[in-house]
Amino acid sequence: MRAASPSAPVSLRFAVFSPRPPSEAAYVAAPGQAPTRLRFHPLARSPRYEYRGPAPLRFVNPRDRALLAEAELPAGVANALIVLLPDEKAAGRWRTIVLDDGETRFRAGQLVLVNLSGLDLDGTLNNRPLKPGPGPNAALPVPRTSQLVLRTSVRGAAYQALATELNLGEGERALLLVLPPLRPGTFAVQHRLLVDRPGTRVSR
């Protein structure tokens, strides 16, 4: 998606999530306002926040205004989920992934898999072949209960990376973040499953 022009103000509703969030983070909702502190949840989207200002959206330490992360805002996205990931190359900084979280693009009864594992994965979703690429993948329709199995191959040998059951309630959707293995040289990925009901503030 094309990024918004840095000279034009943008209007955005967004939530944040991070598997390893900053201890404190804030953003300035509009020019001239005091920083608004962000609230992270361990297994769910944050509350929704409003932003109107220039791109990129900057996240700062609320105490000294030190920059923590910048989020480039794709043009045309009015509702976003911004995932913050620790930047392994810069201590005290986070990199961001901006996902279109709007109801028209990501609907109830769908699964979006975001492959951040660094592994070449394949597998099955309800016994149907699945080949997720790196980063965000297209939304897939899923029933209320689904079985997901992911594998990776190294030097001709296949290893199970993830096996999990996905359970959705009526009107819910699921975002699955597939994260790198906890220990280098192993293949069992970490993951976070974010389930919510679009059009409401309900998440779990």
**CATH number for the domain that contains residue 79:** 2.60.40
What is the 3-state composition of the chain as percent helix, strand, coil, each rounded to the nearest 5?
Answer: 0, 50, 50
**pTM, rounded to two decimals:** 0.90
The residue-averaged pLDDT of 57-63 equals 96
Is the per-residue pLDDT at 113 higher than 80? yes
CA distances from 131 to 60, 128, 134 (A): 37, 10, 10
Does 204 map to a domain? Answer: no
Classify the phi-psi angles of 88: left when phi > 0, otherwise alpha if psi is within -120 to 50, otherwise beta.
alpha
Three-point CA angle 134, 55, 115, nearest 5° = 10
Is the per-residue pLDDT at 4 higher than 70? no
Instruction: Name residue 13's amino acid.
Output: R
Judgement on whether residues 79 and 125 belong to the same structural domain of the protein: no
Lay out the sheet containing 145-154: strands in order across.
Answer: 128-130, 121-125, 145-154, 157-167
Is the per-residue pLDDT at 1 higher than 70? no
Cβ atoms of residues 66 and 33 within 8 Å:
no
The residue-averaged pLDDT of 87-100 equals 94
Judgement on whether residues 19 and 73 belong to the same structural domain of the protein: yes
Per-residue model confidence as pLDDT tens digits over 128-179: 999 999 999 999 999 999 999 999 999 989 999 999 999 999 999 999 999 9
Q: How many domains does the chain contain in total? A: 2
Per-residue model confidence as pLDDT tens digits over 25-36: 999 999 889 999
CA distances from 132 to 19, 98, 163, 195 (A): 20, 18, 15, 19
Question: The tokens 């220039």 sit on which residue?
Answer: 54
Does 201 map to a domain? Answer: no
Burial class (CB in 10 A: 0-12, 13-18, 19+), 128: exposed
Is the per-residue pLDDT at 196 higher than 80? yes
Per-residue model confidence as pLDDT tens digits over 74-87: 888 999 999 999 99
Joined together, the tokens standing for residue 29 give 């909702």
Residue 7 pLDDT level (bands cut at 50, 70, 90): low
Judgement on whether residues 47 and 123 belong to the same structural domain of the protein: no
Neighbours of 126 (CB within 10 A): 14
Give the domain range for residue 55.
10-100
> What does the pLDDT read at residue 162?
98
Residue 204 pLDDT level (bands cut at 50, 70, 90): low
Judgement on whether residues 89 and 136 belong to the same structural domain of the protein: no
Q: How far apart are CA 39 and CA 127, in angstroms?
A: 38
Judgement on whether residues 114 and 190 belong to the same structural domain of the protein: yes
Does 3 map to a domain? Answer: no
